[in-house]
Amino acid sequence: MSVAAELIDTRKAPAPTRDLAQGLRDIRDHGLTIIPDVLAGDTLKRARDALYAAAATDRARGREQKFSLDYAHDETNQRVWNVLSRDPVFEDMVVHPIALHYVREILGWPALLGNISANITGPGGGEMVLHADQIFVPEPWSSEPQGMNVAWLLDDFTEANGATRFAPGSHKLNRAPRPDEANVATIPLEAPAGSIVVFESRVWHKTGHNRTASETRAGAFAWYTKPIYRAQENWFLSLKPEVRQFASEEMLVLLGYKGDLLGLVNGASPV
Ligand SMILES: O=C(O)CCC(=O)C(=O)O
Ligand SMILES: [Fe+2]
């Protein structure tokens, strides 16, 4: 048995829970937790409609950009970047109390929002290279995760439509998967639309393969880091001005407009 196989136990996927303390234990033990019913009704519909509208606009105008961990040949998958600038509903997700509870517990405060982007799998493809989200951190890694993701499921995630696949327990290896580990056992994170999945940045995962004939699978991924890392999105260039203009204190910190020690202007916080 390889070192990876000893720690990764696909039978140990945590059960969905709305108990935040249990969720934190599940993140520590398995690398992730699933929280059902965070978005519902009109809010879920609004978010889903906004994302698909942004995706359609990007596609129609040739504004799609692939991510380096996507397969270059796969035209079925669509990334939608910087959704924070596309509709205010995504601002609510970024500062949602459950999301920020886990940000404070896992990363501490202040933290930064590296990005909130979406990934839509399409029939016949979508699979992503197995990875840990903190691959930009040089190894050896410290014993704490340097980032975390809050995945907002805007469609039902099923094994068939490309639900994110995880290797539970792989965060305990405290390193990125090696090329010869690309096929370690993973399980699909199946959960209904409106759920969120919180996962720490060392757990190995990938987008699943969408083998349906006509379903798409949309998820918005809010990526947070400790404040010493550069944000993936350059908010100072790309953010729609009104997001900053009407931002809460917490949002200003997350976007890097308010801070101490780092990100100053002439020695003082810019706002
Ligand atoms: O689309 C997914 O299911 C996962 C996306 C992901 O892992 C990423 O964007 O880093
Ligand atoms: Fe990822």
Residue 43 to residues 18, 37, 47, 50, 116: CA-CA distances in angstroms? 19, 11, 6, 10, 17
Instruction: Kindly report, residue by residue over 41-69, the tens digit of the pLDDT.
Output: 999 999 999 999 999 999 999 999 988 77
Provide the CATH number for the domain formed by 3-241 in this structure.
2.60.120.620
Atom 10 in ligand 1: residue holding the nearest Cα: 133
Q: What is the mean pLDDT of residues 137-162?
A: 98
Which residues contact residue 140 at a Cβ distance below 8 angstroms, ignoring those fewer than 6 apart?
174, 175
Confidence of residue 2 (pLDDT cuts 50, 70, 90): low
Which residue's C-alpha comes closest to atom 1 of ligand 1?
207
Model confidence pLDDT, tens digit, residues 160-175:
999 999 999 999 999 9
Question: pLDDT value at position 148?
Answer: 99
Report the predicted TM-score, pTM, of the whole model to 2 decimal places: 0.96
DSSP class of 70: B
How far apart, in whole angstroms, are the C-alpha atoms of residue 258 and residue 224? 16
For residue 92, the tally of other CB atoms under 10 A from its CB is: 14
Tokens for 151, please give them: 């995945």
When pLDDT is cut at 50, 70 and 90, the band that residue 125 belongs to is: confident
CA distance readout (Å), 21 to 35, 144, 222, 253: 12, 18, 21, 25
Beta strands in 91-202 (DSSP E): 112-121, 147-153, 165-166, 187-188, 196-200
Residue type present at position 23: G
The structural domains of the chain, with segments of one domain joined by +, span: 3-241
**Is 58 exposed, middle or buried, given 0-12, 13-18 or 19+ CB atoms closer than 10 A?**
middle
Report which protein residue has its CA nearest ligand 1's atom 4. 207
* Section 146-159 average pLDDT: 98
Taking the centre of ligand 1 as the mean of its atom positions, its distance from the CA of residue 114, in whole angstroms, is: 14
Give the count of beta carbons closer than 10 Å to the beta carbon of residue 240: 13
Name all residues whose Cβ lies below 6 A of ligand 1. Answer: 119, 128, 133, 164, 205, 207, 219, 221
Q: Looking at residue 225, what is its pLDDT?
A: 98
Give the pLDDT band of residue 5 (cuts 50, 70, 90): low
Residues with CB under 5 A from ligand 2 (ion): 133
Reported residue count of the chain is: 271
- Tokens 């993973």 label which residue? 186
Instruction: Give the alpha-carbon dihedral of 146, 15, 35, 118, to 10 degrees.
Output: 60
Ligand 2: distance of its center to the CA of 207 in Å? 8
Instruction: State the burial class of residue 243 (Cβ atoms within 10 Å of its Cβ: 0-12, 13-18, 19+).
Output: middle
